[in-house]
Amino acid sequence: MKLSLVKKLTLGFLIAILGAILITSLVSNYMIDRRFNEYLHGEHQRKIDKVIELVNTIYDEKNGFQNKNDGELERVAVLEDLYIRVLDDQGSQVFSSGQDHLLHKKMMYAMPGRMMGMGWRKQLGEYIEESYPLKNNAKKIGTVIIGYFGQWNLTERDIGFKSTLNQAFGISATAALLFGVIVSIWFSRQITTPLVRITQTARIMGEGNLNVRANVNTNTLELDQLSKAMNYLAESLQQQEMLRKRLTTDMAHEIRTPLTTLKSHIEAFLDGIWTPTEDRFASCYEEVERLSKLVGNLQNLAKLEQANLQLNREEFSLSEEIQKMVEAMRPQFIKKNIEVSMKLDGDKNVFMDRDKVRQILINLLTNAYKYTNEGGFVRVELEERQEEIVIEIGDTGIGVGEKDLPHIFERFYRGDISRSRETGGTGIGLAITKALVEAHGGKIKVKSKIDVGTTFIMNFPKTAIELRG
């Protein structure tokens, strides 16, 4: 049987509270009982010593116990609930307080209508008599016999105190339990109420409504983080849904344009409007190449996203490879009057996939070429830091807007400013670049500002790209 979180938490708190109350009660009761019994033992011994001292004071060396003070002994016997009997050295009885007052005490505790009678009668105990020698100057002068009920001759005050103490423990435990129930229910609801709301939000999201948000007001850190994570998930899914719809539009646009051109050219050939020429066939070939490039990029991205992406690592100079790629593209930059600068920190040998590194560099340099206006500037830097190697490729191009920046590495995503056919690609190049960088254990990030420029920063840990001996 499955229980709700409220019931489980409440039950857990109650078990913990009951355990704490039980342990505290047992330990406290044991300690108090032990100290109280020590106190009773001391009081009982004090009574015995008081009786012996009193009997010794009424002894006379010449006349023995002839001048005994019967009234004083009787008063002590009644006051302390004792039976006192004094014998001389011959064993003859000198004094007896009688047991009437003790029998009266027993009958009082045996009365059925007496409050707590059964408990007190049980604590009263059995009748006990003890004998103590009487001495005068190390000479035995007699014996005193003291009788009482119970181990330590408990008085009504003593029994009442113990009973009150036990009642106090019972009342305290009950009050603590009730308080624990109230607190546990309140605390459980403080935890479960936000969870219920988050669960409801997740269920609504599962039904397709991505506009819902988990509006949870809680001071519990984990629940607040869970709520924010759920809201972030909803926003991400909503953005992904928007990207999916945008992807459909983009792909339709990318495919429709070359197909429309090809269709119009072929219809012109068939209708005899156009005479087949080399230039017109070249135009058709360019459109076919555009479609082929689009399909090829899709295939490359699918391969890169496979879990078993294989890297053909080899040792080479990263500085030389960057310089080669820049020089290979320099004619294009010169044609557009774009200045290119390189700052390479030393000749760093790495253990990476040379072809994949070239593809990363070509993609980023091509981006810089496309989105940098004539007369602009592109910089390429390689820097070796303590635990990593950093490659930066920056430009003074059109930049990327803040709303587009978080999605720049997502497949088929293109910012509004880069959607023209002349500059805008398929939206796959940066996704491929990111996959290749991460395949080498690195990370890529971007900084950009509209009309200022864009900088791509790649961080490769040395442990991931250095040659392992």
DSSP-assigned states of every residue in 296-329 = HHHHHHHHHTSTT----EEEEEHHHHHHHHHHHH
Q: Helix (H, G, I), strand (E, B), or coil: what is residue 235? A: helix
Of 389 and 407, the structure prediction assigns the larger pLDDT to 389
List the structure tokens of 116: 């707590």
User: Do 299 and 318 share a domain, yes or no?
Assistant: no
Q: Is the residue at 194 inside a domain?
A: no
- The whole-number pLDDT of residue 115 equals 40
Is the dihedral angle over the CA atoms 138, 139, 141, 146 positive or is it negative?
positive
pLDDT of residue 78: 80
Give per-residue pLDDT as tens, 440-451: 999 999 999 998
Does 348 lie in the same domain as 284?
A: no
Percentage of the chain surpassing pLDDT 70?
82
Distances (CA, A) of 183 to 14, 109, 180, 224, 306: 10, 43, 5, 22, 53
Show which of 155, 178, 201 is a domain's final residue. 178
Output the six-digit token pair for 377. 């500037």
Which range is most confident: 183-187, 239-243, 299-303, 322-326? 322-326
- Decide which of 271, 304, 337 is a domain's last residue: 304
Whether the pLDDT of residue 419 is over 60: the answer is: no
* Whether 219 contacts 52, CB under 8 Å: no
H or E stretch at 119: helix 117-124
**Is 198 a domain residue?**
no
For residues 106 and 46, state if they share a domain: yes
Q: What tens digit of pLDDT does each residue of 194-214 get?
A: 888 888 888 888 888 888 888
User: How many other CB atoms are there within 10 angstroms of residue 456's CB atom?
Assistant: 24
Are residues 449 and 400 part of one domain? yes
* Higher-pLDDT residue of 35, 332: 332
Sheet of strand 443-449, all strands in order from the earlier edge strand to the far edge? 339-344, 377-384, 388-395, 453-461, 443-449
12, 101: one domain? yes
Over the Cα atoms of the chain, what is R_g? Answer: 50
Q: What is the mean pLDDT of the chain?
A: 80
348 and 291, same domain (yes or no): no
Could you report the per-residue pLDDT of 255-272, keeping only the tens digit for each? 787 888 888 888 888 888
Same domain, 286 and 396: no
Q: Binning pLDDT at 50, 70 and 90, where does residue 69 land? A: low
DSSP 8-state code for residue 399:
-
Q: Are 298 and 242 in the same domain?
A: yes
Q: How far is CA 17 from CA 29, 182, 230, in A?
A: 18, 12, 34
* pTM to 2 decimal places: 0.48
pLDDT confidence tier of residue 68, bands split at 50, 70 and 90: low
Q: Is the pLDDT of residue 435 over 50?
A: yes
- Does residue 345 sit within a domain? yes
> What is the span of the domain harbouring residue 289?
221-304
Domain count of the chain?
A: 3
In a domain? residue 149:
yes
List, in sequence order, every residue forming a beta bridge with 445; answer none if it has no partner: 457
Sheet of 93-96, strand order: 93-96, 83-88, 139-149, 127-136
Q: What is the largest CA-CA distance in the chain?
A: 165
Per-residue pLDDT at 114 exceeds 50:
no
Q: How many CA atoms lie within 13 A of 112 on its CB side?
A: 0
Instruction: In whole angstroms, give the CA distance from residue 105 to residue 245.
Output: 97
pLDDT for the residue numbered 153: 62
**Alpha-carbon span 62 to 70, nearest angstrom:** 19
Please compute the mean of the pLDDT values over residues 277-289 and round it to a whole number. Answer: 85
Same domain, 74 and 108: yes
CATH of residue 127:
3.30.450
**pLDDT value of position 467:** 66
Position 154 scores a pLDDT of 64
Residue 307 binned pLDDT confidence (cut-offs 50, 70, 90): very low
pLDDT above 60 (res 437): yes
**Is 121 part of a structural domain of the chain?**
yes
Among candidate residues 304, 325, 353, the one where a domain is terminated: 304
Note whether 446 and 391 are within 8 A (CB): no
Instruction: Say which amino acid occupies 226.
Output: L
453 and 333 together in one domain: yes
For 88-112, what is each residue's pLDDT tens digit? 888 888 888 877 767 666 665 555 4
CATH classification at residue 251: 1.10.287.130
Buried b (16+ CB within 10 A) or exposed e, 63-92: ebbeebeeeebbebbbebbbbbbbbbeeee
The residue behind tokens 């006051």 is 79
Question: How far is it, in rounded angstroms, from Cα 80 to Cα 70?
Answer: 15
Shared domain check, 74 and 166: yes
Task: Decide: 443 and 459 in contact? Cβ < 8 Å.
Answer: yes
- 254 and 399 inside one domain: no
**Alpha carbon distance 57, 75 (integer Å):** 15
Residue 424: inside a domain:
yes
- Torsion, Cα 150 154 158 164, to 10 degrees, reads 20
Report the pLDDT averaged over residues 322-333.
91
